[in-house]
Chain A
Amino acid sequence: MTAQEVRLCGLLLQEHFGNVVEKVGTHLIRSGVLTLRALAHETKLPLDLVKKSLCVLVQHGMCTFGAGRRGPAGPVEYRINCEHIFHMLRYPRYIYTAKSLYGDTGELIVEEILQRGQMTMSSTVKTVADRLTHNMPEGQSMDYSEVVSAFSQLVETHFLQRCPPLASAGSSSSGAVDTPLPVATQPTEPESNPDCYKLPYINLTGQGKRRRSSEGGEAEQRAAKKARTDNSECGDDGIYWQVNFQRFHLHFRDQAIISAVSCKLDQTSSEIVRTMLRMSEVTTPAHAAFTQALSANEIFRALQSSYNIARPNLDQYLSLLVDDPMEFVGKTGDSGGGMYVVNLHRALANLARATLESVVQERFGSRSARIFRLLLRKRHLEQKQVEDFAMIPAKEAKDMLYTLLSENLVQLQEIPKTPDYAPSRTFYLYTVNQLPTARLLLQHCYKTVCNLIERRLYETKENKRLLEKSQRIEAILASLQATGAEAAQLTEVEEMITVPERQQLESLRHHINKSCTNQLLSKHESVT
């Protein structure tokens, strides 16, 4: 865990869960594994607050607990899962993907589960139906069955998965209901559960309820209480669902490859690659280097008829894809008209390389980018060779090389001619190591995101007075519009004139934050 990563985790926890959880979380990240007592003692927080924070973190899957070093009899130890915290940066993207694939219902389901960490199917369905009903016009309401079908679709395509059952430390069978739960239990990997994607049978019929403002508060609370006790009656007690982040990442990876193909070649080739990826979605394991081999005949059958690609054209496109230097598609055999695979790892590595090159180009200029690309291709070059190959005058080439060297994007490799590393008799070669450089840029990205979050907090604090004023004015305006007053609105709006400038500043800040996280994600995926 680098310093920047720890800082980013802290800021994200603070943003979503408050200062207490942030303190507990960052301390746990820095110390690695701790017991409850040690954590409370070291953070000097009251024990109850620490317990609450740990509950929140466990609920959201960011903290895992297990039997400690002293075995099952000893105190429980907790550790933080940092990757999970970074996923918080991408929550909007997950929700947007669900929306584009499964509509508003899917979007709300994913949003609810992300907000709550884990949820049962019945409670999700009820909450989402209520929310949808709330937005619908009067008289209509959302039926539970539609939400259930959207939920099932999400589970079938593996976007949602069951939370892993806790395996008791002593017994061999996992998920036994009768045995009393020991103090320290270990959650297993979600994929190891054979029922991971099995939908439970629930008897849930009805429609979403609209929250009526005329209802007394007590009646509402009674209904809410009844809803809670109904949970166990729906038949899926104890089965919790969580978002399958890995599946979303695979989806993003596929999207990145398809968009890269469409940029480099053309739309039709990207459609072919999209078809190939879709066909091998569920059969390819998560970290495979390439997809299952598909024959050209299968691809032709699976292509959507709207594209109108004839068979010989398809063969031409496939051969073009194979010959492309980015190596998106490879040919592994000749049976069935040619067996083709999508080279996932190689495509991602090439994408990462392209990202690196573009970063250098944007930061240092196109000539430095030329030198960088040269070094990537030729691996090791001497000073003189760099000048010759890049066709840049010596002095400028030197200058650029040293700038890149000081930024650690380029490394110097020493090759001695004699056993003693005498400097006059050693070769000094410039080289670029792709993976460490990519990781370095990733850390830069983390740092940028941290800086942006802090800047946003600072700006918000500075303009807090103005923001509150604008909120109040908006509320007043809304109520005035309801009653239909005209003249007063104009005066209110005039008062607001100074506010929009600040508001623009604010939205700009938010924009920046957003954009950076997006850039960060794409880099992150290509690197990991």
Chain B
Amino acid sequence: MAGRGRGQLTFSVEIVGIGKGENLPPSSVQPTPLFPPLDQKPVPLQTGEEAEYMLALKQEFRGAMKTLPFYIRPAAPKKDVERYSDKYQKIETSDNSLEWKPDWRRFPKELRVREKRPLRDKSPAVPKQPKQPRVDKEEIIRKLETLEQKEEDRSSDEEDGEKKKPQEEEAEGEEEYDEEEFEDETDYIMSYFDNGEEFGGDSDDNDEAIY
């Protein structure tokens, strides 16, 4: 467009204002620097009671949003080996339900995430467990006793031992999928390995399968 050099331009540059023989700044062959030097200093920040109050509001808001259930954290990647410290770290809910209750009438049906219920077909004798998120301790103990009796009647079925744990956790308000056993696709019961925590504790109630 500009020809093959400054001497052979297609239009006379006096129009645009460049005189003959004047020094033009050299044409740059690099991209502009990342932090170009500033000729003028920027205007100072707005301060004042209003600005500080709004700053505090903003920080508070950001902090509050992190605690609300709208902040979605991706599922932690499955580690290759189960670590000892996993027990002491926060275990996020393995079910995929929302922690808040939207009004489903205002949402498209396909966005509704079905909560997974514990498998019921394995043990038909186990009584139906209604969702009781807040239960007293007495009810838990009563349930345990009834189940214990039912266990003694039936042949040693491994899942019964596992039902206790989901029951207790259900009583705390979560419906957990009974994954523990089937997680690693092994033949061993996860709870078989006694870590020694329950030594002297309530392990007497668990009538687990004894090999």
Interface residues in chain A, defined as those with a beta carbon under 8 Å from any beta carbon in chain B: 15-21, 36, 45-46, 48-49, 51-56, 58-60, 65, 75-76, 91-93, 95-96, 111, 114-117, 163, 166, 181, 183-185, 187, 218, 221-222, 225, 228, 238, 240, 362-365, 383-384, 394, 398, 401, 422-424, 426-428, 510-512, 514-515, 518
B53 at the binding interface (Cβ < 8 Å) = yes
Q: How would residues 1 to 21 of chain B score, 1 for a CB under 8 Å from any chain A CB and 0 otherwise?
A: 000000000111001111000
In the bound complex, do residue A18 and residue B71 qualify as a contact, i.e. CB atoms below 8 Å apart?
A: yes
B105 at the binding interface (Cβ < 8 Å) = yes
- Answer whether A18 and B73 are a contact pair too, CB < 8 Å, given A65-B108, A424-B15, A511-B45: yes
* Chain A interface mostly: helix
Chain A residues with CB under 8 A of B124 = none
Q: Which of A46, A221, A238 contacts B75 (CB 8 A)?
A: A46
B98 at the binding interface (Cβ < 8 Å) = yes
Which of B36-44, B159-167, B202-210 forms part of the interface with chain A?
B36-44
Task: Give 8 nearest A-B pairs by CB, closest first.
Answer: A423-B11, A48-B96, A92-B57, A383-B17, A92-B54, A92-B58, A515-B45, A16-B65
* Chain B interface mostly: loop
Give residues 38-71 of B contacting A (CB, 8 Å): 39-40, 42-43, 45-47, 50-51, 53-55, 57-59, 61-62, 64-65, 68, 70-71
- Answer whether A17 and B70 are a contact pair too, CB < 8 Å, given A96-B54, A362-B43: yes
Chain A residues with CB under 8 A of B12 = 423-424
B107 at the binding interface (Cβ < 8 Å) = yes
- Answer whether A55 and B102 are a contact pair too, CB < 8 Å, given A221-B173, A225-B133, A362-B43: yes
Chain A residues with CB under 8 A of B16 = 383, 428
In the bound complex, do residue B62 and residue A16 qualify as a contact, i.e. CB atoms below 8 Å apart?
A: yes
In the bound complex, do residue B113 and residue A426 qualify as a contact, i.e. CB atoms below 8 Å apart?
A: no
Interface centre among B12, B45, B108, B134 (most CB of A within 10 A): B108
Q: How far in angstroms is the closest Cβ of chain A from B146?
A: 22
Assembly CA distance A122 to B178 (angstroms):
38
In the bound complex, do residue B55 and residue A514 qualify as a contact, i.e. CB atoms below 8 Å apart?
A: yes
Chain B residues with CB under 8 A of A166 = 105-106
Chosen A-B contacts, 5 in total, with CB atoms closer than 8 Å, are: A16-B70, A17-B72, A427-B15, A510-B58, A518-B51
Chain B residues with CB under 8 A of A428 = 15-16
In the bound complex, do residue B107 and residue A55 qualify as a contact, i.e. CB atoms below 8 Å apart?
A: yes
Given A18-B74, A20-B72, 14 further pairs, Cβ under 8 A: A15-B62, A17-B70, A48-B113, A49-B72, A49-B96, A55-B102, A59-B102, A65-B108, A96-B54, A111-B57, A114-B61, A181-B109, A362-B40, A427-B15
Q: How far in angstroms is the closest Cβ of chain A from B175?
A: 15
> In chain A, what residue has the closest Cβ to B106?
A166
Q: How far in angstroms is the closest Cβ of chain B from A252?
A: 13
Interface centre among A20, A228, A394, A401 (most CB of B within 10 A): A20
Interface centre among A364, A422, A428, A514 (most CB of B within 10 A): A514
B80 at the binding interface (Cβ < 8 Å) = no
Assembly CA distance A423 to B17 (angstroms):
13
Assembly CA distance A46 to B74 (angstroms):
10
Assembly CA distance A363 to B10 (angstroms):
34
In the bound complex, do residue B113 and residue A52 qualify as a contact, i.e. CB atoms below 8 Å apart?
A: yes
Q: Which of B43, B55, B107 contacts A510 (CB 8 A)?
A: B55
> In chain A, what residue has the closest Cβ to B74?
A20
> In chain B, what residue has the closest Cβ to A65?
B108
In the bound complex, do residue A228 and residue B113 qualify as a contact, i.e. CB atoms below 8 Å apart?
A: no
Q: How far in angstroms is the closest Cβ of chain A from B192?
A: 31
Q: How far in angstroms is the closest Cβ of chain B from A231?
A: 10
Chain A residues with CB under 8 A of B70 = 16-17, 56, 59-60, 117
Q: How far in angstroms is the closest Cβ of chain B from A435?
A: 24
> In chain B, what residue has the closest Cβ to A99?
B53
Q: How far in angstroms is the closest Cβ of chain A from B113?
A: 5
Chain A residues with CB under 8 A of B74 = 18-20, 45, 49
Q: How far in angstroms is the closest Cβ of chain A from B103?
A: 7
Assembly CA distance A369 to B61 (angstroms):
39
Q: Which of A36, A52, A184 contacts B96 (CB 8 A)?
A: A52
In the bound complex, do residue B105 and residue A95 qualify as a contact, i.e. CB atoms below 8 Å apart?
A: no
Chain B residues with CB under 8 A of A362 = 40, 42-43
B82 at the binding interface (Cβ < 8 Å) = no
In the bound complex, do residue B111 and residue A17 qualify as a contact, i.e. CB atoms below 8 Å apart?
A: no
Assembly CA distance A221 to B57 (angstroms):
29
In the bound complex, do residue B65 and residue A76 qualify as a contact, i.e. CB atoms below 8 Å apart?
A: no
Assembly CA distance A163 to B68 (angstroms):
21
Assembly CA distance A225 to B132 (angstroms):
11
Chain A residues with CB under 8 A of B103 = 238, 240
Q: How far in angstroms is the closest Cβ of chain A from B104?
A: 9
Chain A residues with CB under 8 A of B45 = 511-512, 515
In the bound complex, do residue A53 and residue B134 qualify as a contact, i.e. CB atoms below 8 Å apart?
A: no
Assembly CA distance A361 to B59 (angstroms):
32
Q: How far in angstroms is the closest Cβ of chain B from A373?
A: 17
In the bound complex, do residue B57 and residue A95 qualify as a contact, i.e. CB atoms below 8 Å apart?
A: yes
Chain B residues with CB under 8 A of A36 = 110-111
Chain A residues with CB under 8 A of B53 = 96
In the bound complex, do residue A183 and residue B108 qualify as a contact, i.e. CB atoms below 8 Å apart?
A: yes
Assembly CA distance A95 to B16 (angstroms):
53
Chain A residues with CB under 8 A of B108 = 65, 76, 183-185
Give residues 102-136 of B contacting A (CB, 8 Å): 102-103, 105-113, 133-134, 136
Assembly CA distance A228 to B173 (angstroms):
15
Assembly CA distance A36 to B45 (angstroms):
44
> In chain A, what residue has the closest Cβ to B41?
A362
B142 at the binding interface (Cβ < 8 Å) = no
Chain A residues with CB under 8 A of B136 = 218
In the bound complex, do residue B173 and residue A17 qualify as a contact, i.e. CB atoms below 8 Å apart?
A: no
Assembly CA distance A165 to B77 (angstroms):
40
Chain A residues with CB under 8 A of B106 = 58, 163, 166, 187, 240
Chain A residues with CB under 8 A of B173 = 221
In the bound complex, do residue B39 and residue A93 qualify as a contact, i.e. CB atoms below 8 Å apart?
A: no
Q: How far in angstroms is the closest Cβ of chain B from A287?
A: 27
Chain A residues with CB under 8 A of B17 = 383-384, 394, 398, 401
Q: How far in angstroms is the closest Cβ of chain A from B124?
A: 29
Q: How far in angstroms is the closest Cβ of chain B from A344?
A: 24
In the bound complex, do residue A52 and residue B98 qualify as a contact, i.e. CB atoms below 8 Å apart?
A: yes
Q: How far in angstroms is the closest Cβ of chain A from B170?
A: 14
Q: How far in angstroms is the closest Cβ of chain A from B19?
A: 9
Chain A residues with CB under 8 A of B58 = 91-92, 510, 514
Assembly CA distance A15 to B63 (angstroms):
10
Assembly CA distance A163 to B12 (angstroms):
64
Chain B residues with CB under 8 A of A65 = 108
